[in-house]
Structure 1
Amino acid sequence: MTDALPVDVVVRLLQAASAEQEVDVDSLLGGARLSGPDALRVGTEIRRLRATSERRRRRDQELTALFSSARELAQLRDVDELLGRLVERAHDLVGTDVTYLSEFDPDSRELRVRTTLGTVEPSFLGLRVPPGVGLASQVVEGRRPFWTSKYAVMTQARHDSAIDAAVSAEGLVSLLGVPLLAGDEVIGVLFAANRVEHAFSPEEISLLSAFADHAAIVLQTARLLARAQESADETRRAYGELSRHVEAMERASEVHSDLTSLVLQGGEASDVAIALGRALRCQVSLLDPEHLHGPVGDAVDRSRRSGRCSAVADGTYVVAVLAGSALLGALLLEQGEVEFGPVELRTAERAAQITALLNLKQDAMIEAEQRVRSDLLADMLSDDPDRRGDVATRARARGIRLGELQSVVVVAVPAELRRDAIRALRRTGGPAGEHAERAVVLTSHADPAAASTFVHTTVSRAVRAPVLAVGASFADATDDLRAQVEAASSCVRMLPSLGLTDTAVTTDEYLPYVALFGPGEARVTAYVRRVIGPVLDWDAKHVGKLLPTLAAYLGNRMSPVATARALHLHKNTVLQRLERAAELLGDDWQEPDRLFRVTVAVRLAELTKNP
């Protein structure tokens, strides 16, 4: 039986086993008078206890750091900041050269490097790993840790040239990857890597796995919170949109109520613009058809085709006021306090319809008045003396002062648009109506050219089709008006044979031709061919200039010098052309009778060529 060990030796042995102090176990046992086998057995046991104690102490330190990191990560809400801190803590815990996190995309099944620490190559961040490639895919597919001490010779997973190049550029040799799991779902892979060959111990794998488990929960929670925040933001946006929609609907209801009252109480079209501007808190203008030009006119044309509001500029819209195909005007809206949305624009379109309705109602009243005026105009143009007998008295009764009327305009438009043309003419204020399948209006313009131009512009904007307007002046509405209307009507019938179908002229400009060929005659072309046909044929074959030369010669008092100056030609060139004309027309073409007919034919040919 061995002697008992001294208490001091026992205490020193316990201290050695606890790893609290550095103790030379062999020296201590050598002075304890133990046999060789006993000393060996006690020493072995002491070293085992010491290693266990060291592992537990290190484990406590790691777990303390792990839980501390987990608490810190749990306080983060921003996903990007969380990923950065997560990699930073893992890097500190494991102590490898490089630590990085790859996020898993369940749709493409790719892994993309989101955050790194310890890397030197900028291209490593954002590196994408296709499915089934490299160590990362082994971790994802197996849902367990996977490591290699030397990546270059790893055979357990398929290599990819791009991934191998990135790993080689970073100088990574040994890698450990552990999955970030949220239930059965892999949301990423956490990597620890060294630039030297290294066999990862079970303790290192266990530590990184435990950290990854904590990190996965925190990361998933952060994602859920981010989604919840996005949902909350979306809910707030939807609520705000709903509130704006409700406000818009309330404004639309207010406008509808106001417009209904306007219709029932006999309001005017201008009141619609006021009510719409008050409800939408913006500036609204009611535009006449005559004022629709430029960008506004282009936008009105678009609105007219679509029936909807059309943008003029940023924050400015226009909507056409239509009655069938007739344009009555437009509403111009300039954005104010309220941003224009679909409800506001639809409200403006409804307001345009109400404006058209009120315009039609007003037009109906005007129509009744104008019908009387039309009857008065018909009586003024009648062949029956009895109907013309008391025209002046009836005109005064309708507020028409015949003495102020100085010109008449006869208008030709397609038959289906004649009613719209007459409606537009009645807005000019003078008596207007239909006579002999033409629209006729009396104006106070002293100049018939100004009157025809004004009427042409007004009717063209209303019907959007070719308009032929012929003006004539008269001295007395009760005396020579009928003669002037007949002259203008004859001119209207004759002008299309000259190629004029959309213009404004006066009877004085074309009266000689009307007198020559008579109203409605279609013999202009035949006459021109009969008189100067050879000249026209010569010009057609030789690309000549005989007709313009004849026109200039006749227009310059038959002076070759003046003709050459007007055409910027040499006198001899003009004389040569006149000689050619004499060969074609005959030597007597400048005799008075022939000259008159040639002059008329040349003028008609020029008009037909350049209407």
Structure 2
Amino acid sequence: MPVHDAARRMFAFIQDEGTEDAPLRLMENLAADPDLSDLVQIARRIRETLNRGAARESLLRVLFDTATDLAAITDYEKVLRTIVRRTRVLLGTDMAYISLNDYESGETYMRTTDGVITDAYRGIRMPLGTGVLGRVAAGNASAQTADYLTDPAIVRHHGIDDIVDQEGVKSLLGAPLRSGGNLMGALLVGNRYRHRFSAEEVSTVESIASLASVALNNARHLQEMHNLLSQHDATRQMLDDQVQQLEHISTHERLLTECVVAPNPLDELVSVLQTELGLAIAVLDASETKIAGDLIPSTPPVPHTEAFVATVANRSLGRIVTAGQLSEAQRRLVSRSALVLSVILLMEESRFHADQRQQSELLELLVSPTRSDSAGALRRSAKFGIRAGSQAHVSVLEVGDAELDQVLPLVRHLLGESSGIASLKDQLVVVVSGAFDGSQIHKALHQRGVRATVGFASRALDEELLASAYDAARATLDVLLALDLTNSAVHHDQLGIAGMLFRYSPAGFGSELVDTILGPLRQYDATRGTSLTETAWRYLSNDRHHDATAQDLHIHPSTVRQRVSRISQLLGSGWDAGYRKLDIQIALQMWKLRQHIQRNP
């Protein structure tokens, strides 16, 4: 065959990338020619080199595409999944996986897998330097084994061989993952059959491992940056929330401060809280009496009711009661409001005591017989609605078992700021008012459950002031108490004959009247230790009804009849009828008054 023809055919063979039999047989025929054998060997080497180059070019193209794809992925987990999936597909292996190193424990662990079947294999953790995985993760070079379980070069770790056997793994190839000179872990591929990986396969895994290292490092940095940005956003949001919360607290504090100086501070405080919370609110004083708000306290309390106590120096002044679910922020606001309530109640308490001193001093001026400063008293009383020339009512109250410190605020609340004064004098409540007389005060206290006995008198306020009206009211109260007319209100003009006699008779007249008319009864009681005089009083007071008298005296009606019979023997028949009945009733009233005065000098 001519040399130029042989050269043309060898060039066609070199360019042919296929594996057809005709070109191969042709080259075998050419090789038989001694003159052409060397050229055929050169052509074969050239063709092999070109084929390897083409394969390398194809691999590089795949690696470039992989690098491009990995660079576009910013999610760290997705980068891991993409690497193992591309590696497995590119090499055609049964599985591929990435391990990462934990230098604190000295171990490497499975991070992401593709093609692995058993959970035990996915959860492998093994010391650095053991097995193929540990050896690659601890070193700087690739490593492989054609049959893991029979390879004597493998450094074994307890329990790992069983896991590998369960997964069915035979051959393994791994390449290290490096980042900035630091070893992060390893990229491994594996088959469930014996296989010795070629140099091209080792180079491919190493190339992918290099790309994976860069991609993982970039993804990690992006993830860290994303985390930092998220933390920054969260911190900024938290700061914004705190600023808004502080602004809200500042606004609330300003509103609470304005409550202290408002004309009606308690109502203003309730309004602020209701606007803030949208719940029913009640403000109670130290005696658990509601003094503001629309919530009606109940026993037991309604669900989700909370109380916030206003205290000063461990002394409870009152509390705020809320009905409804509260957040922690709302609880803090109500707690702050309880402090403001303490200030408001303290100020009211201070005003009350100052007002009490003023009213007590003014009362002494008005009812004192000396009238040392009439003009000043008239001027000061006008502030409380008691003006010169107008009718003034003086009421003296005895409140039994009730606490004076609790009754006095009730009376002052009734009077308001410009309808009179009220103060304590000789353990009694004394009221001077131009608008309310004793019967009105008695009715108001009765509605609040206070049993009061009230004697009152009236006169026009002038330079003589009110000493005489006070004396008349006090005397009226003494008469009511002496006659057991408790829980009642009587004007001085309603005292009747006994009261008038008691009030205006000369000294000794009452005693002489009692001794003259009731002497036999009193003497009998004194010598026998009986109660005939008291029985006569009760008997006539009950219109001579035996049963009612027995009930008052806590005795049997037959005993009343026996006592009435004895009284008739001592005073004479007809003592309980006609004009004699009037005399004896007056004498008995005078006797009761004298007894009261003797007990309460």
TM interval, short-chain normalised: 0.5 to 0.7
Match of 1:59 in 2: 56
Match of 1:94 in 2: 91
Q: Is the 8 A contact 1:179 1:188 kept in 2?
A: yes
Match of 1:356 in 2: 342
The alignment status of 1:44 with 2:30, answered yes or no, reads: no
SS of the equivalent of 1:119 reads: coil
User: What is the Cα deviation at residue 172 of structure 1?
Assistant: 0.4
Match of 2:530 in 1: none
The alignment status of 1:327 with 2:324, answered yes or no, reads: no
The 1:23–1:45 alpha-carbon spacing in structure 2 relative to 1, beyond 3 Å, is farther
Count of residue pairs brought into register by the alignment = 423
Amino acid at match of 1:204: E
Which of 162, 184, 202 is 1:187 aligned to?
184
Counterpart-to-counterpart distance in 2, 1:18 and 1:482? 141
Match of 2:17 in 1: 20
The alignment status of 1:172 with 2:169, answered yes or no, reads: yes
Q: Is the 8 A contact 1:403 1:476 kept in 2?
A: yes
Counterpart-to-counterpart distance in 2, 1:224 and 1:26? 54
Aligned ranges 1:220-239 → 2 under 5 Å: 220-239=217-236
The 1:445–1:481 alpha-carbon spacing in structure 2 relative to 1, beyond 3 Å, is same
The 1:67–1:29 alpha-carbon spacing in structure 2 relative to 1, beyond 3 Å, is closer
The 1:220–1:427 alpha-carbon spacing in structure 2 relative to 1, beyond 3 Å, is farther
Tell me the TM-score normalised to structure 2 length.
0.57
Counterpart-to-counterpart distance in 2, 1:146 and 1:480? 120
The 1:99–1:433 alpha-carbon spacing in structure 2 relative to 1, beyond 3 Å, is farther
Q: Relative to structure 2, which stretch is displaced further, 211-220 or 348-357?
A: 348-357
Q: Is the 8 A contact 1:174 1:198 kept in 2?
A: yes
Deviation string, structure 1 residues 289-320 (Cα, Å, up to 9, x no partner): 4279xxx999xxxxxxxxxxxxx95xx87533
Aligned ranges 1:234-383 → 2 under 5 Å: 234-264=231-261, 268-275=265-272, 280=276, 282-283=278-279, 285-289=281-285, 290=288, 319-331=308-320, 347-371=333-357
The 1:142–1:483 alpha-carbon spacing in structure 2 relative to 1, beyond 3 Å, is farther
The 1:318–1:208 alpha-carbon spacing in structure 2 relative to 1, beyond 3 Å, is farther
Match of 1:125 in 2: 122
Match of 2:197 in 1: 200
Match of 2:7 in 1: 10
Deviation string, structure 1 residues 349-389 (Cα, Å, up to 9, x no partner): 4433233212211222222334567789999xxxx999xxx
Match of 2:76 in 1: 79
Q: Is the 8 A contact 2:128 2:135 kept in 1?
A: no
Match of 1:409 in 2: 401
Deviation string, structure 1 residues 14-60 (Cα, Å, up to 9, x no partner): 23234424365674356559753x44433333332222222222111
Q: Is the 8 A contact 2:137 2:184 kept in 1?
A: no
User: What is the Cα deviation at residue 474 of structure 1?
Assistant: 4.9
Counterpart-to-counterpart distance in 2, 1:205 and 1:353? 77
The 1:145–1:318 alpha-carbon spacing in structure 2 relative to 1, beyond 3 Å, is farther
User: What is the Cα deviation at residue 166 of structure 1?
Assistant: 1.8
Give aligned-pair identity as a percent.
Answer: 24
Counterpart-to-counterpart distance in 2, 1:91 and 1:481? 111
Match of 1:151 in 2: 148
User: What is the Cα deviation at residue 89 of structure 1?
Assistant: 0.5
SS of the equivalent of 2:159 reads: helix
Counterpart-to-counterpart distance in 1, 2:426 and 2:108? 86
Q: Is the 8 A contact 1:101 1:114 kept in 2?
A: yes
The 1:27–1:264 alpha-carbon spacing in structure 2 relative to 1, beyond 3 Å, is closer
The 1:86–1:31 alpha-carbon spacing in structure 2 relative to 1, beyond 3 Å, is closer
Counterpart-to-counterpart distance in 2, 1:41 and 1:97? 43
Counterpart-to-counterpart distance in 2, 1:165 and 1:106? 25
Amino acid at match of 1:287: V
Q: Is the 8 A contact 2:128 2:138 kept in 1?
A: no
User: What is the Cα deviation at residue 402 of structure 1?
Assistant: 8.1
Q: Is the 8 A contact 1:110 1:128 kept in 2?
A: yes
SS of the equivalent of 1:193 reads: strand
Counterpart-to-counterpart distance in 2, 1:275 and 1:353? 14
Counterpart-to-counterpart distance in 1, 2:479 and 2:224? 87
Counterpart-to-counterpart distance in 2, 1:139 and 1:297? 78
Counterpart-to-counterpart distance in 1, 2:282 and 2:107? 61
Amino acid at match of 1:323: V
The 1:358–1:45 alpha-carbon spacing in structure 2 relative to 1, beyond 3 Å, is same
SS of the equivalent of 1:45 reads: helix
Counterpart-to-counterpart distance in 1, 2:15 and 2:78? 41
Match of 1:596 in 2: none
The 1:148–1:33 alpha-carbon spacing in structure 2 relative to 1, beyond 3 Å, is closer
Which is higher, the Rg of structure 1 or of structure 2?
Answer: 2
The 1:23–1:355 alpha-carbon spacing in structure 2 relative to 1, beyond 3 Å, is same
Q: Is the 8 A contact 1:19 1:54 kept in 2?
A: no
Counterpart-to-counterpart distance in 1, 2:31 and 2:106? 69
The 1:327–1:157 alpha-carbon spacing in structure 2 relative to 1, beyond 3 Å, is farther
SS of the equivalent of 1:191 reads: strand
Q: Is the 8 A contact 1:269 1:358 kept in 2?
A: yes
SS of the equivalent of 2:186 reads: strand
Q: Is the 8 A contact 2:442 2:452 kept in 1?
A: no
Match of 1:69 in 2: 66
Counterpart-to-counterpart distance in 2, 1:180 and 1:242? 41
User: What is the Cα deviation at residue 207 of structure 1?
Assistant: 0.5
The 1:355–1:231 alpha-carbon spacing in structure 2 relative to 1, beyond 3 Å, is same
Deviation string, structure 1 residues 311-332 (Cα, Å, up to 9, x no partner): x95xx87533223323233345
The 1:30–1:229 alpha-carbon spacing in structure 2 relative to 1, beyond 3 Å, is closer
Amino acid at match of 1:408: G
- Give the gaps of 5 or more residues in structure 2: 298-302, 371-380, 387-391, 413-421, 430-437, 457-473, 482-601
The 1:268–1:29 alpha-carbon spacing in structure 2 relative to 1, beyond 3 Å, is closer
RMSD across aligned positions (CA):
4.9
User: What is the Cα deviation at residue 93 of structure 1?
Assistant: 0.9
Amino acid at match of 1:13: M
Aligned ranges 1:211-226 → 2 under 5 Å: 211-226=208-223
The 1:256–1:30 alpha-carbon spacing in structure 2 relative to 1, beyond 3 Å, is closer
Amino acid at match of 2:337: A
Amino acid at match of 2:354: A
Q: Is the 8 A contact 2:132 2:144 kept in 1?
A: yes
Q: Is the 8 A contact 2:281 2:322 kept in 1?
A: yes
Amino acid at match of 1:359: L
Counterpart-to-counterpart distance in 1, 2:100 and 2:393? 91
Deviation string, structure 1 residues 188-227 (Cα, Å, up to 9, x no partner): 3211011112222221111011111112211222222222
Amino acid at match of 2:341: T
Tell me the TM-score normalised to structure 1 length.
0.57
Deviation string, structure 1 residues 51-81 (Cα, Å, up to 9, x no partner): 2222222111122112112212222222222
Q: Is the 8 A contact 2:99 2:185 kept in 1?
A: yes
